[in-house]
Structure formats: structure tokens, C-alpha cells
Copies of this chain bind each other. A is one copy, B any other.
């Protein structure tokens, strides 16, 4: 039995990305703690664009060349040397970020974004824009890869949980025959879907970031649909679709 529906798969780590055919596909980059959450917040609060860059030095350099830009990024939970701001979605309220360009470097999410080369469309997803991602995907007719940023290539619960939330909502519209997707859906089912942060408290990344005093940030990132916006990559810039 073959299906006429497009395929939906979940990639659990950038180190597994080569196993998936992303040619012409819609790739959803997921980095719940916290790059793609911050991207949703900044764009929803009126940033004109977000430019994801791989390194701190690239971030500094680009910031010097662009007026009205904000350089941001953390390493080990604190603002990286030479940058002005951190990687917290709550740092980017409208009064600060409106009409500005956010140049953002993070450990995992921006790296993955640059790894996907041949996709048809690249968007970013987080719980903050869960509904917007699902609404967009349900109107498409292309294969979808939900790509988890993981933590230094290690599987993480929060990105997989988000992938499970998306796959659970879209399971009737896509052809799913991928154990990663099944596992992501089971995890989402196990979380109950309502109190995500309670489920995520027992995860490596939560514990690591909570030790830096970032609990409020993590709670924020686990709140569905606070920033209903769809970030899409155009050239090297993320803008609102």
C-alpha cells in the first residue's frame, strides 16, 4: 500500500541528518531551549528579521556592519564575550526589538539551520509558535522533516516533545512510517500536552539551564502559542511569512 500523502519524519539529532532526504522538503528547525523560541518571540514582537550565524566572531562582525542591529548569543548560559544580549525570548519585548535586526548565534539551533542545504523551505518551530507551524504545514503538499537541534548532537527530550506535538496534530494529513516520529508522539502523549514544563523538568537540558537560574525562561519556552508567528528562511535571514 502506498500513500499519496506527503511524508513526515523526525530527525532526532543533527548527527543523523544525512539519513534523511531533505531535497525539496519543508524542514522545521527545532531548538526549544532556546534559539527557535527566541526567534519566534523577536519576530512576533516586531523585529524586521533574525540572522542566525554560526560563531560569536561572525556575530560581532555582522553587528558592526549593520546599523539598527542587536548582537545576541550565549555560551554556557551567559552572554558571550563581545555580544550585547543573551538567548532568552523574554529579552526581546516589542519596545526593544521592533524594526531591528537580531543577529543570533547559538550552540545547536543555528548550526543545524546551516546544515540543511537542499530543502525547499526552512522554517523554525517552538512551542511559542506551535499552532502557526501546524497551520502552515497542514496547507502544504511537500515532504516534511522535523529536525531536532539536540544538545551537542545528543538526543534531547524538549525538541523531540515538540516534534511529537506537531506530528500528533498532523498525523492524518501525512504518511508516517518512521519510528522516531512514533516515539516523539508517544512522548508527547506521555506529557499530557498541557503541563509541558512538569514533564521537561526531568530532562538534561532543563537541569543544565535551571542551574544557571533560567527556570522562568524555560517555563516561558514551554508555553504554547504565546508568539503565533511563522519564521521562514529567505536567503540567510529569518523573516515572518
A169 close to B (CB within 8 Å):
no
B179 touches A203 (CB 8 A): yes
Segment from A56-64, A67-75, A147-155 that makes contact with B? A147-155
Q: How far is the CA of A5 from the CA of B178 in the complex (A)?
A: 35
- B residues near A182, Cβ cutoff 8 Å: 157, 202-203
Q: Taking A186-B186, A186-B187, A190-B189 as contacts, is the C-beta distance between A179 and B204 under 8 angstroms?
A: yes
Number of residues from A at the complex interface, CB < 8 A: 27
What's the dominant secondary structure at chain A's contact region?
A: helix
- B residues near A114, Cβ cutoff 8 Å: none
Nearest-CB distance from A212 to chain B (Å)?
16
- B residues near A177, Cβ cutoff 8 Å: 204, 207
Residues of A at the B interface (CB closer than 8 Å) are: 12-13, 15-16, 19, 152-157, 160, 177-180, 182-183, 186-187, 189-190, 202-205, 207
Sample of 5 further A-B pairs with CB below 8 A, known A16-B16, A177-B207: A157-B183, A178-B204, A186-B186, A186-B187, A190-B190
